[in-house]
Amino acid sequence: MEALNAQEQKEFQQVLERRQMNEYVKMYSNLVQRCFDHCVNDFTSKSLIQKEEACLNRCVDKFLKGAERMGQRFQELNAQQQ
């Protein structure tokens, strides 16, 4: 990365922003699928039942906390490596 000049840094910044949007999309839809797979298993009803909604709440919460924690550890390790 250090090898990029100012102009290249700028271009790369744009690439970065586009990627970041994609990362969010991927993270979000991954979260949806994972919590759906674990929490929703009753197909005798058409709409989410209370038990499923409560599970989704806990699942999203836990997933985000876990992702945040792992993200911090990962960044620390990457920083040590530089």
Residues at the contact surface with another protein, assessed by CB under 8 A: 1, 3-4, 7-8, 11-12, 15-16, 18-19, 21-41, 43, 45-48, 52-53, 55-74, 77-78, 81-82
3-class secondary structure, 52 = helix
**Smallest distance, another protein to C-beta of residue 75, A:** 9
Record the tokens describing residue 34, joined without a space: 């994972």
- The whole-angstrom separation of Cα 70 and Cα 82 is 19
Least distance from another protein to the Cβ atom of residue 63, Å: 7
Contact 64, 34 (CB under 8 A): no
Minimum CB distance to another protein, residue 15 (Å): 6
Cα distance between residue 63 and residue 80, in whole Å? 26
